[in-house]
Amino acid sequence: MSNTNNELQGIRKLRLGLMILMVAGILNLAVTIPRFITPAPSIPSNITANNLNNTNIQQVFTQIASMEIGYFEESIILTSIVGVINIIGLIILRSGFNILSKTVSNEIGIGNIGIIVYIVSYPLIVIGLLLNLFGFLSVNFVEILASLPALFIAIILLIVGSILVGVGIYRVGREYSTNIVKVGGILIAIVIPAFIGSILSYIGLRNVKPITERAREVQIYSIGGGVIKGDGSAQILIYSSVSGSILSVKIEGMNIFTFKVNPATLQPGNNQINIQFDNVSNLVKGSTYIITLLVDVNGNAIEVKTYALYQP
């Protein structure tokens, strides 16, 4: 499979993973919102401040717990379903990160680490919720308190995982020069607006074009030869199909480098480039030399070679 096909597969997997995570986020909201609009359980009317004692306190707690158990069981079931969907999305997302870290930039691989951390938190969430449920069922404060460390660690892992995944998405946006994906990655890393970040990243990834495919569309080459004069100045004509920046120029085989180029930016079309070398005393009159320009196009370094005759 070619690099372009691998890239396309990686981008598709990132989009699919983000889409599944968005679905899980919507379901999670459907689980959470009803809880906030459901009236809180009240103290039974037969218990007043005058007849409140230990027995009544236990009775109050038992009645409140029994009302909460139905919701709690439902929450665990729905949370488990959302968790499974999340894990499926994360596994697909990890596959996309893995492909792009091999074909585009290994810095994208940080997203893999974030997803592993994220997935590890899910068993802890389930353990914490189950301990909570058993505590309510048995009216046991010890079991309820025992669930808190597991839930706390799970929350920390979720935050760390989300930050690393966000950094991975941001780096994908950076490599593809897509601002909307970079913004999405930042929002995911902030954690609270991660759902919005997933939406933005998904939208941004729909329009990216593989780097390997873009590279084939770039055409930069010299037109004719150039001339190097005795004062080190040289003129060459370069055609470019895209905008780019000239990073450096060297004369092959002579260890002569320079950063003095005017203009230093290539525009689509023909570009008359003026170069100034500092010391060309070692060049042989009438000899032809290879001049290599290092050009940056969207973060990709491209070498452009041309020939120049030394005429002092």
| Residue segments in the chain with a per-residue pLDDT below the cut of 50 | 1, 43, 47-57
Residues 93 and 204 placed together within one structural domain of the fold = yes
What is the number of structural domains in the chain?
Answer: 2
Residue numbers of the domain that contains 164 = 3-213
Residues 209 and 225 placed together within one structural domain of the fold = no
Q: What is the pLDDT of residue 35?
A: 55
Q: What is the pLDDT of residue 143?
A: 65
CA distance readout (Å), 162 to 175, 199, 229: 20, 15, 58
Residues 118 and 249 placed together within one structural domain of the fold = no
Q: What is the pLDDT of residue 2?
A: 55
Q: What is the pLDDT of residue 202?
A: 93
Residues 166 and 239 placed together within one structural domain of the fold = no
Q: What is the pLDDT of residue 63?
A: 55
- State if pTM tops 0.85: no
Domain CATH number, residue 251: 2.60.40
Q: What is the pLDDT of residue 14?
A: 93
Q: pLDDT, tens digit, for every residue of 174-195?
A: 888 788 999 999 999 998 888 8
Q: pLDDT, tens digit, for every residue of 266-282?
A: 988 999 999 999 888 88
Residues 189 and 288 placed together within one structural domain of the fold = no
Residues 181 and 238 placed together within one structural domain of the fold = no
